[in-house]
C-alpha cells in the first residue's frame, strides 16, 4: 500500500514513520495508488459481505501486490511501522499476517529487531559506498560468485566457525586459481 492512509479516524494519535526506513517509491504509479479501496482492510473486516467475497477482495489485493515493483520495500516499511499499518493490505499481507511476521522477526533477531535491521541497512550502504571507491578485481568477483553458487547466500551474522570456514574455502579457491 503506497504511502500513509488518508482519512485516519484519529490523525492526532498517528505515529511518525521510522526515518531509518523510508517508504519505497516507484517510478510508475502502483495499484495501491490508483485503486486504494482494494487495499482497505482491518482485522475482522467483513464490510457486510460474505466470507467468499472478503477472500476474493483479499485475493485481488494480493494479485495486485505480486506485480508491484516496490513490494519488498513496502513489506519492510509496513513491518517496521506497526502503528501506521494496523489496517490495510501492505505487500499482500493483512494486519494479522504482519503481526505474525513481526513475532517471527523478534524470535529470529531479538526484541530489538528493528534496530538490527537498521544496522544491517547502514552496514550495507557503507559497503556499497566503499565498493564504489575500491571495486573488486576480476578474480575477487569470480571467487565471490563461485562462493555464492556453491554455498548460497551468507547468513547474517556469521558465527566465528562459519567465518573461519569461509576464509579457508576462499584461500583454497585462491590457491586453485
| Mean pLDDT estimate for the chain | 83
Given this model, what pLDDT does residue 67 score?
85
Helix (H, G, I), strand (E, B) or coil at 153: coil
Helix (H, G, I), strand (E, B) or coil at 93: strand
Q: Average pLDDT for residues 91-120, to the nearest whole number?
A: 93
Distance CA 163, CA 156 (A): 11
Distance CA 62, CA 28 (A): 19
Distance CA 92, CA 64 (A): 8
Distance CA 77, CA 83 (A): 11
Over residues 59-96, the pLDDT tens digits come to: 889 888 988 999 999 999 999 999 999 999 999 998 99
Distance CA 39, CA 71 (A): 13
**pLDDT higher than 50, residue 31:** yes
Return the C-alpha cell found at 111.
526484541
Q: What is the DSSP track for 5-63? A: PSS-S-GGGPPPPPTTSPPP--SS--HHHH-GGGG---TT--TT--HHHHHHHHHHHHH
Given this model, what pLDDT does residue 177 score?
57
Given this model, what pLDDT does residue 48 score?
63
Distance CA 19, CA 120 (A): 15
**pLDDT higher than 50, residue 131:** yes
Given this model, what pLDDT does residue 2 score?
45
At residue 19's C-alpha, the angle toward residues 70 and 5, to 5°, is: 60
Choose among 91, 87, 89: nearest CA to 73.
91
At residue 126 the predicted structure's pLDDT band, cuts being 50, 70 and 90, is very high
At residue 116 the predicted structure's pLDDT band, cuts being 50, 70 and 90, is very high
Name the residue ranges covered by the structural domains of the chain: 11-114, 136-176
Amino acid at each position: 500500500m503506497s504511502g500513509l492512509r488518508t482519512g485516519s479516524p484519529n490523525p492526532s494519535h498517528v505515529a511518525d514513520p521510522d526515518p531509518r526506513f523510508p517508504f519505497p517509491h516507484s517510478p510508475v504509479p502502483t495499484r495501491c495508488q490508483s485503486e486504494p479501496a482494494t487495499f482497505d482492510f482491518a482485522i475482522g473486516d467483513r464490510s457486510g459481505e460474505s466470507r467468499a467475497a472478503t477472500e476474493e477482495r483479499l485475493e485481488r489485493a494480493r494479485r495486485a501486490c505480486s506485480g508491484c515493483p516496490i513490494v519488498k520495500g513496502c513489506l519492510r516499511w509496513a513491518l517496521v511501522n506497526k502503528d501506521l499499518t494496523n489496517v490495510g493490505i501492505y505487500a499482500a499481507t493483512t494486519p494479522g499476517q504482519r503481526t505474525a511476521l513481526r513475532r517471527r522477526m523478534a524470535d529470529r533477531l531479538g526484541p530489538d529487531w528493528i534496530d538490527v535491521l537498521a544496522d544491517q541497512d547502514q552496514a550495507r550502504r557503507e559497503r556499497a559506498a566503499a565498493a564504489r571507491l575500491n571495486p573488486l578485481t576480476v578474480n575477487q568477483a569470480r571467487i565471490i560468485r563461485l562462493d555464492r553458487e556453491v554455498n548460497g547466500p551468507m547468513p547474517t551474522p556469521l558465527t566465528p566457525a562459519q567465518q573461519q570456514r569461509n576464509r579457508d574455502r576462499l584461500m583454497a579457491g585462491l590457491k586453485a586459481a
